[in-house]
């Protein structure tokens, strides 16, 4: 059988459809590590971690922050059912920076008083959002300037 030329990508959360597009490559944050998918990939089902997902159409890459759920990979189709998914342009950087500071403060407290897993997940989510958002042209520099100003 001929290899499919493209991948039909769908990314949905419980609230809405985030992406429906025909793409050339997808990288998925699987709970066992990042998973690169090209057309013709072997079928598989993977659970999602908190991380950055990107897809490529020609030369252009699009980045999203993803957390929890499942990915179904078929030779010509990738479906991501994520609990959380945000496109880089929809990420509120100040909110993510505030979430990061809160999580870091919680993790710095004595262990018995902290829901460690929850705080760790909040930290990874906020760092992922900041990383994804930094792919937006101009955004990384704004963050850097803020840090320099203190």
Write out the residues near ligand ATP by the rule CB under 6 A: 84, 86, 90-92, 95-96, 99, 122, 125, 129
Q: Which is nearer to ligand ATP, 6 or 102 (CB)?
A: 102
Smallest distance from the beta carbon of 93 to ligand ATP, in angstroms?
Answer: 7
Min. distance of Cβ 125 from ligand ATP in angstroms?
5
Tell me the CA end-to-end span of the chain in Å, nearest whole number.
Answer: 59
Name which of 8 and 131 has its Cβ closer to ligand ATP: 131
| 32 vs 87: CA distance, rounded Å | 23
Shortest Å distance, C-beta 100 to ligand ATP? 9
DSSP string, 134-145: TTSTTHHHHHHH
Q: What residue spans of the chain are helical by DSSP H?
A: 93-107, 116-133, 139-149
Closer to ligand ATP at the Cβ: 70 or 74?
70
Structure tokens at 44: 């598989």
Q: Tell the smallest beta-carbon distance from residue 142 to ligand ATP (Å).
A: 14
Nearer to ligand ATP, 9 or 91 (CB): 91
- Give the pair of three-digit tokens for residue 89: 């342009």
Q: What is d(CA 79, CA 116) in angstroms, rounded to the nearest whole number? A: 31
């Amino acid at each position: 059988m001929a290899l499919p030329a493209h991948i039909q990508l769908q990314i949905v959360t419980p609230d809405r459809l985030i992406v429906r597009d025909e793409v050339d490559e997808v990288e998925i944050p699987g709970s066992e590590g990042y998973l690169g998918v090209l057309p013709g990939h072997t079928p598989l089902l993977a659970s999602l971690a908190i991380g950055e997902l990107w897809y490529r159409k020609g030369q252009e890459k699009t980045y999203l922050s993803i957390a929890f759920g499942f990915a179904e990979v078929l030779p010509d189709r990738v479906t991501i059912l994520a609990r959380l998914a945000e496109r880089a342009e929809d990420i509120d950087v100040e909110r993510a920076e505030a979430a990061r500071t809160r999580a870091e403060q919680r993790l710095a407290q004595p262990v018995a008083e902290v829901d460690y897993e929850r705080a760790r997940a909040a930290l990874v989510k906020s760092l992922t959002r900041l990383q994804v958002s930094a792919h937006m042209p101009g955004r990384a520099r704004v963050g850097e300037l803020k840090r320099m100003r203190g």
